[in-house]
Amino acid sequence: MNEIILDTETTGLSVEKGDRILEIACIETKNLIPTNNVFHKLLNPEREVSDDAFKIHGYSYDKLKSEKKFEEIADEFLNFIKGKEIIIHNAQFDLSFLNNELKKISRAPIETKNVIDSLEIARSKFPGTSNTLDNLCKKFNIDNSERKKHNALLDCELLREVYINLIGQKEPVLSLYNEDENQIEKLNSVLPKSNHKVIIKPSEKEFSDHKTFLKSEIKKNFF
C-alpha cells in the first residue's frame, strides 16, 4: 500500500465556529519514497481568514476568492487518497476539517482505519515535550529554514522526513533487485541529491553474493 503525507491550512482553528480549509497538500510515497505524484490545491474558503490564521500561513480571503471551492476538487482529492495509508501530524485537527467539508457536500467521511497520526507517535516517544513539526525538525536535525510561514506542501515534505525518523527508519526501504531500470532512474530523479546516494541496480551475481553474506555474517535487524 502506498502512503499519502497530508496537510491542510485553514481559516482558523474551529470547525464549530465555521472555519474552513483553504489549502490541501498530499504527497504520495511508496515505502516513504516520493513517487512524484502530488496533489496541491489552494481553495476559496467562502469566508474571511482570521487574523491569527493569517499570521501563521499568510493567506487572505482576497488572495483566495478566485480559487476553486472544495466541492469542485473533492472528487480529484478523494481519488488521490483512495486505498492508501494516510500520514498526518495531528490527524484529529485535519480530519475534522476534511470531514466537515465532505459533510457539506453529502460525501462520506474519511475513515480513520488507514490514518496514522505522527503526533501521537511523537508523544509516545517524547512525553512531556512539545512535539510540533518545527520542534521535531530540530530534534532530528531536519532543515526547516524555508518554513517562514506554514505551507501545506512544504509541511508534507518535512513531515515525511520527521516520520521516517520517528519510526526509526533512517532510510526508506527499497527492494532494488526487483525494480526495473526505469523505476530506479525515476527514484534517482525524485530524491533530493543532497540526501541520498545514487541508486544502482545490482547484477544477479552481486545480489546472490550479498544474500549469502547477510545470511552468514549479519545477525541483527537494521531497521
In this structure, the number of other CB atoms found within 10 A of the CB of residue 176 comes to 13
Helices (H), the chain: 51-57, 61-64, 70-81, 91-104, 118-125, 133-139, 152-166, 181-190, 204-217
Is 35 in contact with 191 (CB distance < 8 Å)? no
CB 45 within 8 A of CB 11: yes
Residue 48 neighbours by CB under 8 Å, 6+ apart: 11, 61
- In sequence order, the 6+-apart residues with CB closer than 8 A to the CB of 135 are 129
**119, 135 in Cβ contact below 8 A?**
no
C-alpha grid cell for residue 143? 532543515
The set of catalytic residues is 150
